[in-house]
Amino acid sequence: MGKVIDALFKLGIVAILALASAAYYYLVYLPDRHAPIDVEKQDFEQPQKVQKSEAQARYQNCLAVAQHTYTSTWANNCMAIRAKSINEQANCMASGGERCDTVEKDASSNCALPRDVADRLNSNLYADRHRCLQETRAQ
């Protein structure tokens, strides 16, 4: 019976050593081994995140410029139509016309433009937005 207890005791010590080795491997060795990889991965991902946010900022800026150009051009066309209407009315009045159009044209930035002018401006806006997207993808 002493041999059985001695064998179980030795087997217990071997089991404890095996568990301690496994615990060391999983709790100490592996995390330390992967830590440099994680740091390298972070070092690699950080510039990509910066580049992505810079590209997003450039894209948003490009869209803002396109929208501003569209809005400004639309407003300028509205003012040109109003100026033309005022000149035509003044010429009519100067020539002694009795039935001159007295209705003033809308000069706001969202006036109704002639269809061909509005279509051209909308087409230009679409093209500018598409260009912004293509420039962002190219970088």
pLDDT at 61: 93
Structure confidence at residue 82 as a pLDDT band (50, 70, 90): confident
Q: Is residue 41 part of a domain?
A: no
- Among 87, 81, 88, smallest CA distance to 105 is for 81
**Is the confidence at residue 60, as pLDDT, over 70?**
yes
Residue type (1 letter), 15:
A
Q: Is residue 121 part of a domain?
A: no
Q: List, for residues 105-118, the tens digit of each pLDDT value.
A: 556 667 889 999 99
Q: Is residue 4 part of a domain?
A: yes
Structure confidence at residue 24 as a pLDDT band (50, 70, 90): confident
CB 66 within 8 A of CB 132: yes
pLDDT at 132: 93
Number of domains present in the structure of the chain: 1
Q: CA 27 to CA 15: how far, in whole Å?
A: 18
Mean pLDDT of 81-89: 83
Q: Is residue 57 part of a domain?
A: no
Q: Is residue 80 part of a domain?
A: no
Q: Is residue 9 part of a domain?
A: yes
Q: CA 26 to CA 44: how far, in whole Å?
A: 26
Q: Domain range holding 23?
A: 1-30
pLDDT at 88: 81
Structure confidence at residue 127 as a pLDDT band (50, 70, 90): very high
**Is the confidence at residue 35, as pLDDT, over 80?**
no
**Is the confidence at residue 73, as pLDDT, over 80?**
yes
